[in-house]
Amino acid sequence: MYNEFLSKYWTFSKWGLLMNERRKKPFKVSTEINNRKKLLNQELKRYIRLLTKHGSPEKLILFGTLAQGELHEWSDIDLVVVEKSNLPFYQRLRKIRELIQPQVGLDIVVYTPEEFDQLQANSPFFREEIIAKGKIIYEQSK
């Protein structure tokens, strides 16, 4: 039964790599990606609305595949929230997750302004992936 499944959905490419036969249908994959992009953007708008209405973010930064427009069928939302808080890191995360109740995959981090500044100064990954490639999608007016 296992071999039937393999032969039905998988083949070996000319380089000896195992390939999923369903990937050979570009229109279907393209449609799935467009649907995924639409769903992620709807969810992102919902998050922004909830966070700005019920929270007090100073800044929201989108990063990852959605920010760069390089979506695939497993893309999720990668979000940095910067807000003043006295809560420990994990309690901040829990508070935000309970508020927005994510309906799609979400990687979120919540930093205080001081933590954000420290990471920006000391973390090459943070500077390259979040600051350089990310998009500020909300910034509190000063």
pLDDT tens digits, one per residue of 41-68: 999 999 999 999 998 999 999 999 999 9
Q: What is the pLDDT of residues 82-135, one digit of tens each?
A: 999 999 999 999 999 999 999 999 999 999 999 999 999 999 999 999 999 999
pLDDT at 109: 96
Q: Which residue has the higher pLDDT, 81 or 28?
A: 81
Domain containing 43 equals 2-139
pTM greater than 0.95: no
Q: For the domain that residue 103 is a member of, what is the CATH number?
A: 3.30.460.10
- For 56-114, the DSSP string reads --SEEEEESHHHHT---TT--EEEEEE----S-HHHHHHHHHHHH--SS-EEEEEE-HH
121 exposure class (CB count in 10 Å sphere: 0-12, 13-18, 19+)? exposed
**For the stretch 58-95, what's the b/e string if a residue is b when 16 or more beta carbons lie within 10 angstroms of its beta carbon?**
bbbbbbbbbbeeebeeebbbbbbbbbebeeeeeebeee
Give the number of domains in the chain: 1
pLDDT-based confidence at residue 10 (cuts at 50, 70, 90): low
